[in-house]
Structure 1
Amino acid sequence: MNPIQTNIRDLPHISHLAKENVESPSPPLTSLGLLKQCGTKLKRFRDEILNKQSSDDTPICTSITCQSLSSDRIMKLAKAQLLQLNSQKADVLSSVKGCFGAQSAGFPSEVAEDLELALLIQAAGEKVANKEFIYARKLLSMCDCSDFKTGRAVQRVVYYFAKALKERIDQEWGIISSDKLEGKMWMPMAEELDRIFLEPAMVACQQELPFCLETQFITTESILENVASAKRIHLIDFEIDNGSQWTLIMQAFAVRYECPLELLKITAVGMCKETMEETGKWLSSFAETINLPFSFKAVVSELKDLKEDFFELEADEVVAIDVAYRLWSLLVRPNYFEVLMAVIKNLKPCIILLKELEVNSNTPNFLERFNGSLFFFTAMFDCTKSCMEHQVLYRKLVEEGHFWGMIRNFITTEGIERALRHETIGFWRALFARFGIVETDLSPTALYQANLSLQSREHFHSCTSVMDGKCLILGWNGIPFQSISAWKFL
């Protein structure tokens, strides 16, 4: 059977069949063994706090809070406490103050407050999933504070998730219509934020976060190794943005004296013609300064409408494709994959680089989606706080202008309106297998260089990188953020 003719109408369900080796960002709710384990860890951590408090004159807020209790750990401890309360059929509203108070647990006031907020928001998510909206509203009222929007990482993530849960409840009660959310997938309402400032904020975020640097190393080296003997190279980019990611590879081609390059072609695929053309002019100018034979083409098209003819392939050129954070956009209508994969196969690429967020926001189960996205954004808010400490204004703009829109779409929408859908590497493996695409090794040189770059920066100490088979999973404090993998057709 031709793999391109495979029926994929049930694609959104693949994620429930494909299993990854990476640890889940949130504990399963039904595991009694995990409940006992987390309860023991919670007690042991409390004992550590009390012992530290009695044996060290150093303020706990600096010696324990900052070094030992990251935002994601706070969420995990709160989840363990919630599991205990659920097993005891205890009332969260009346129990929350006793769980983490200074007298009962020995936590510093700021840590206790964050633990209480983390417990409240996770309990509220459970109540919304069970359609216990009145109780959920009471829980949310206890974590309703406008100051949280600019506070600590846990406060900020709770602020946005509480806001999204309230919108979902209002929709269920008919107070607001889901139609009002249509089109607001990740951008905020115009009156909330001047979008002119969002673009430089996003650029600053990309420059400061460790993942962008690491993926750029890996993409560049993996392509270079696969086109080492080619003289005419065609790079196809499905998300070219400002094009800065290609400057490294262009410089490498410019000094490849043992096999001089005859022509480097870059084709950008996207919907914003003006932006792509501006990027093309800039890249062309850069190529001229380094004496690199270069041509650029912009293809204005949605992925589902791509055709082979758009790319003007030549017989003697070698094709490499970079698919960065675009395939998720087809998950809302998975039958479009068949069309896209047929086009990609006809392009005969020597390598395909895939980069996607490593979070399952595609599951139809609301509570699974809520828990997964809560842990994902908790780590993300912690990461931006650590890595953008000198770019506070830009960090706030990214959180309000980009992250809030994603959270809103994950939590408040269902069906076709939930356009932001992401999957983990297990899903992409199962999908690509249907089309005869196999995973191949990433560049060992790139992986080594990327690891060195992480070790050389002090504020990247919480960044984690784990190999899942041949795929690299990047995360923060062990919470997966994104994956990068390389693929070839059989």
Structure 2
Amino acid sequence: MDSGPANVSNSQTISYVADTEREIPQIPLNPLELLNQYAPKVKRLRVEDSSEKKSDPPPNPASSGHGQAIPAASIIKMAKARLLQLNSQKADIVSYASTSFGAQCGLPSAAAEDFELALRLLAAAEKVAKQQFVYARKLLSLCESSVSQSGNPIQRVAYYFADALQEKIDKEWGLVSSEEMERIRKGPTDVEQTMIRLRPEMTRCQQEIPFCLYTQFTAIQSILDCVASAKRVHLIDFGIDNGSHWTLIMQAFSVRFECPLEHLKITAVGASKQMMEDTGKWLSSFAETISLPFSFSIIVSEMEDLKEGRFGLEADDTLAVYLGLRLWTLLPWPNQLDKFIKLIRNLNPRLIVVNEMEASINSPDFLKRFNESIHVFSAIFDCINSCMYHRVMFRKLNEEVIFPGMIRNIVIAEGIEWIQRYEKISFWRALFGKFGIVETGMSRPPPDQEILFLRSSDRLTSCTVELDGKCLLLGWKGSAIQSVSAWKIKQDD
């Protein structure tokens, strides 16, 4: 395998930025238009309860329909099942993988090729786990003619995982320098500046990703319901990003005539001072346009270094906390994670809303985390392929600049150098429970209403929302990708 995306240069990233900016000039970045476009749908969501669903067996290739592509994550699932079967039969995996076997499974020709690619890649990972690197390289060489940065989702995701496996082998053989390992740990060094420069374009594109919007609307509605009668509201956002989600709650407060809001304060916490300052200016400007009493403050800090006294809490403020894809960053350091959860507990917010990846990629067992990560990334690539088909450069920015660093860190790094870790909702329930933080229901509409929000266009019909306890799981074609949940401090009896 060649070095591929492992060496994305700064000039190449700048090229992506320029192309992406040209690609999306026509969409207005206007919070009120965003609100008017989507807010009516928020109250009309229908949620499917996963407790009533039976566990699905591996997909039957014959049921995929004529000309209908089999989901990338389903191809991975099928390949895992076949590899398990071959292992139980003590088959020679390398010899078997050297043949054309996809058609034997009753798959259409295109799906058969993807199935063969997936099985070879999974078999290579299995050989790497067993430190059988020569066999792993043979299997990866069989993947070379099928992987592609410009192919279908399974071919693209396989490209990056195959590249990472090859680099892991090179590391084990002592062919990777210490400088390369530092780059593997950190990922592309210019990603943060890329995100700052692309803020408007990424905000616009997020309007078309169902997970982003659904999470934002359910989180905001839950917070609104929680502070319905509060006159002074303080919101703490860890990792505020572009802040577009807060325009929805600001607009709602501005028309709350029955109980006028006296003051809204948003505190952003993060490591990027420039990004938070830019967001604060934008939100402050928006607050002025709707005559909302508003203040914005920032805390420049890593999460593990925070102190309670830095938040400027007032006794008459009603506090809510939003943790959007932030807790996972502390998973490599369990003691610091516990310390942070204790900090949140001591702030005593009325509500905590948490959004996390719904994936179990925190096992020291290499093969377990490889299999879990390729499954979830396959679903993500499939989702972006459908939702971003007319935003090619934005998709490529994610797939060729951001995701490769994440994948390589998961596959190659070990110990505290391995920072891309994720856990499922069951893990967070157990952790929060230790600190007296209990799950509460998300605000949602009656279950008999149509999910208009996720059915707003044909390409979004594959997005699914299920209930796991009181937590909402957002998925693509049956594969969960993110969770969003609400929590309260357990009061002493």
User: Do both share a fold (TM > 0.5)?
Assistant: yes
CA shift in 2, pair 1:207/1:145, >3 Å: farther
Contact 2:349–2:488 (Cα < 8 Å) also in 1: yes
Contact 1:65–1:111 (Cα < 8 Å) also in 2: no
1:272 deviation in Å?
A: 1.1
Q: Which residue of 2 aligns with 1:73?
A: 74
1:112 deviation in Å?
A: 1.6
1:204 deviation in Å?
A: 5.0
1:312 deviation in Å?
A: 1.0
User: Is 2:342 the partner of 1:342?
Assistant: yes
Contact 1:148–1:156 (Cα < 8 Å) also in 2: yes
1:65 deviation in Å?
A: 4.1
Contact 2:102–2:115 (Cα < 8 Å) also in 1: no
Distance 2:270 2:120 in 1: 41
Distance 1:408 1:447 in 2: 40
Q: 1:417-456 to 2 correspondence within 5 Å?
A: 417-445=417-445, 451-456=451-456
CA shift in 2, pair 1:253/1:308, >3 Å: same
Q: Which residue of 1 aligns with 2:88?
A: 87
User: Is 2:170 the partner of 1:156?
Assistant: no
1:289 deviation in Å?
A: 0.4
1:203 deviation in Å?
A: 3.8
Q: 1:117-196 to 2 correspondence within 5 Å?
A: 117-145=117-145, 148-177=148-177, 179-185=179-185, 187-188=187-188
Q: Which residue of 2 aligns with 1:256?
A: 256
Amino acid at match of 1:443: S
Amino acid at match of 1:345: R
CA shift in 2, pair 1:144/1:98, >3 Å: closer
Contact 1:74–1:118 (Cα < 8 Å) also in 2: yes
SS of the residue corresponding to residue 90 of structure 2 reads coil
SS of the residue corresponding to residue 354 of structure 1 reads strand
1:141 deviation in Å?
A: 0.6
Distance 2:145 2:204 in 1: 28
1:456 deviation in Å?
A: 2.6
1:181 deviation in Å?
A: 2.5
Distance 2:447 2:321 in 1: 19
| Worse overlay, 194-203 or 435-444 | 194-203
Distance 1:419 1:91 in 2: 35
TM-score w.r.t. length of structure 1: 0.83
Distance 1:216 1:196 in 2: 20
Contact 1:280–1:297 (Cα < 8 Å) also in 2: yes
Contact 2:203–2:244 (Cα < 8 Å) also in 1: no
Q: 1:202-217 to 2 correspondence within 5 Å?
A: 202-217=202-217
Amino acid at match of 1:128: V
Unaligned 5+ segments in structure 1 are: 1-20, 28-33, 50-62
1:343 deviation in Å?
A: 2.5
SS of the residue corresponding to residue 445 of structure 2 reads helix
Contact 1:438–1:487 (Cα < 8 Å) also in 2: yes
CA shift in 2, pair 1:448/1:65, >3 Å: same
Amino acid at match of 1:79: K
SS of the residue corresponding to residue 313 of structure 2 reads coil
Distance 2:67 2:269 in 1: 46
Distance 1:199 1:173 in 2: 41
Distance 1:387 1:349 in 2: 36
| Worse overlay, 315-324 or 332-341 | 332-341
Q: 1:45-444 to 2 correspondence within 5 Å?
A: 45=61, 64-67=66-69, 69-96=70-97, 98=99, 100-102=101-103, 104-145=104-145, 148-177=148-177, 179-185=179-185, 187-188=187-188, 202-444=202-444
User: CA deviation digits over 1:205-237, x for unaligned, max 9?
Assistant: 523210011011111110111101100000000
Q: Which residue of 2 aligns with 1:489?
A: 489
1:345 deviation in Å?
A: 2.4
SS of the residue corresponding to residue 475 of structure 1 reads strand
SS of the residue corresponding to residue 267 of structure 1 reads strand
Distance 1:450 1:294 in 2: 36
Amino acid at match of 2:328: W
For this pair of structures, how many residues does the alignment match?
438
User: CA deviation digits over 1:376-399, x for unaligned, max 9?
Assistant: 011111111011110111101111
Distance 1:240 1:200 in 2: 14
User: CA deviation digits over 1:3-22, x for unaligned, max 9?
Assistant: xxxxxxxxxxxxxxxxxx98
Distance 1:93 1:260 in 2: 70
Amino acid at match of 2:214: E
Amino acid at match of 2:74: R
Distance 1:205 1:186 in 2: 25
SS of the residue corresponding to residue 341 of structure 1 reads helix
Contact 2:273–2:300 (Cα < 8 Å) also in 1: yes
Unaligned 5+ segments in structure 2 are: 1-48
Distance 2:450 2:320 in 1: 21
Contact 1:202–1:398 (Cα < 8 Å) also in 2: no
SS of the residue corresponding to residue 260 of structure 1 reads coil
1:450 deviation in Å?
A: 9.3
Amino acid at match of 2:228: A
User: Is 2:477 the partner of 1:477?
Assistant: yes
Contact 1:171–1:178 (Cα < 8 Å) also in 2: no
Distance 1:64 1:415 in 2: 46
CA shift in 2, pair 1:357/1:369, >3 Å: same
User: CA deviation digits over 1:308-354, x for unaligned, max 9?
Assistant: 22111111110000011111111111111333233322322000000
CA shift in 2, pair 1:373/1:200, >3 Å: farther
Amino acid at match of 2:334: P
Distance 1:266 1:126 in 2: 48
Distance 1:234 1:337 in 2: 23
RMSD, aligned α-carbons: 2.7
Distance 2:295 2:107 in 1: 61
CA shift in 2, pair 1:319/1:370, >3 Å: same
Amino acid at match of 1:84: Q
Contact 2:185–2:413 (Cα < 8 Å) also in 1: no
TM-score w.r.t. length of structure 2: 0.83
SS of the residue corresponding to residue 175 of structure 2 reads coil
Identity %: 55
Contact 2:265–2:294 (Cα < 8 Å) also in 1: yes
Q: Which residue of 2 aligns with 1:7?
A: none
CA shift in 2, pair 1:204/1:256, >3 Å: closer
